[in-house]
Amino acid sequence: MKLTEIFAKHTYSLSFEVFPPKTDSVYADVQTATEQIARLRPAFMSVTYGAGGGTSKYTLRIAEGIKKSCGVESLAHLTCVSSTKETVKERIADFKAAGIENVMALRGDIPQDRINEDRSAWAYRHAVELVRELKASGDFCIGGACYPEVHPESNNQKEDIRYLKEKVDAGCAFLTTQMFFDNNLLYNYLYKIREAGITVPVIAGIMPITSAKQVERALKLSGSFMPRRFLSLVDTFGNDPSAMKQAGIAYATDQIIDLYANGIANVHVYSMNKPDVAESIQSNLSAIIGKNA
Ligand code: FAD
């Protein structure tokens, strides 16, 4: 089923993300975690695409398993910047053959050693090119990424939103946000993108921070603003793993309740292959998401 149909059916949706293994040796662990998360019956599950595409076969295998064996709708990610046109065409054909209906079209991060290259000869420079290709090659429900705190490479938010509009006009049926820890940043951003004429559903991406180590990684990955309230929680509980986990889950839950209460109907949790974290959040929200139509 297309995610847009799922969003239309839910008053509040909660979904989870998993990432593929890097090697065959840990495939079984990821599969087990995926199946445990799927047992929570989320609205859908997304499967990320390894940078550079090295783990692409796993993305497809896991996304197909979620849909066919677990009976949960899946969203397969696909990146393009380090790929040739032939490879992307092959991936799209593989997705189609496997019955994947929902694809997240991403540019991917530019590898460190290619940042200063002349990009004019690259097969793909921006996600919009992949969106157009997906749109032309099948009946996919296509998603795109968006950045409430501005993409790190953008000169300013106005420019970032102008390119986002181009991406949506090319065929994105929904957008998922980069993680953020202050909901006001999203509310402000939504106001601006709606003003710019972007009307597709925006799925709020929430990352539960359950260890002090994760704070550094999240900051490096997203450059997100960390509110004082969140930082004092890390200062106080960061050295106590079980207390930090509980506090991080409570913070994420609180963020999600505030989002639902302010009209953001769809929340995607970056659950990082952790079924226990996904389950705790889901259970904290059970009476709320139980109210689905
Ligand atoms: P784009 O939409 O191409 O935007 C990148 C930058 O280029 C922005 O600054 C934008 O303003 C600018 N831009 C866009 N179009 C144009 C244009 N026509 N002309 C000039 N400038 C333009 N990475 C992975 O490797 N695998 C994943 O599975 C993955 N999943 C993600 C999921 C989400 C929800 C998010 C938010 C990010 C994800 N990423 C993933 C990271 C993502 O690949 C990086 O953030 C990447 O740097 C940008 O990808 P994009 O698709 O947003 O790019």
State residue 240's pLDDT score: 97
Q: What does the pLDDT average to over 255-268?
A: 98
C-alpha pair distances (Å), 139 with each of 105, 136, 142, 236, 258: 14, 8, 9, 50, 34
Whether the CB-CB separation of 105 and 150 falls below 8 Å is answered with: no
Number of domains present in the structure of the chain = 1
Q: What does the pLDDT average to over 209-223?
A: 88
State residue 275's pLDDT score: 98
The per-residue pLDDT for range 111-138, each reduced to its tens digit, is 889 999 999 999 999 999 999 999 999 8
- Domain of 91, CATH number, reads 3.20.20.220
Residue 293 lies in a domain: no
Average pLDDT score over the chain: 95
Our mutation pick for probing the ligand 1 site, out of 3, 62, 95, 126, counting the most ligand atoms within 8 A of Cβ, is 126
State residue 293's pLDDT score: 47
Residue 285 lies in a domain: no
Residue 281 lies in a domain: no
Residue 292: pLDDT over 70 = no
Residue with CA nearest ligand 1 atom 10: 160
Q: Where are the beta strands (DSSP E) in 130-229?
A: 141-146, 172-177, 202-206
Whether the CB-CB separation of 128 and 163 falls below 8 Å is answered with: yes
Cα–Cα dist 44/52, whole Å? 25
Q: What does the pLDDT average to over 9-36?
A: 95
Give the distance (Å) from ligand 1 centre to CA of residue 170: 15
State residue 55's pLDDT score: 79
Q: What does the pLDDT average to over 51-79?
A: 93
Q: What does the pLDDT average to over 209-232?
A: 90
Dihedral, CA of residue 137, residue 203, residue 7 and residue 56, to nearest 10: 40
Residue with CA nearest ligand 1 atom 40: 108
Q: What is the pTM of this model?
A: 0.97
Residue 168: pLDDT over 60 = yes
Residue 107: pLDDT over 50 = yes
pLDDT bracket for residue 219 (50, 70, 90): confident
Residue 221 lies in a domain: yes
Q: What does the pLDDT average to over 221-244?
A: 94
**HSE (side-chain half, CA atoms, 13 Å) at 261:** 9
| Sign of the dihedral defined by the CA atoms of residues 116, 119, 124, 127, in that order | positive
Residue with CA nearest ligand 1 atom 5: 126
Residue 87 lies in a domain: yes
Residue 290 lies in a domain: no
State residue 51's pLDDT score: 76
Residue 287 lies in a domain: no
Determine the atom of ligand 1 nearest the C-alpha atom of 159.
Answer: 11
**Residue numbers of the domain that contains 182:** 3-274
Residue 46 lies in a domain: yes
- Eight-class DSSP state of 200: S
Q: Could you identify the residue written with the tokens 């952790």?
A: 274
Q: Which two tokens stand for residue 77?
A: 């990610």
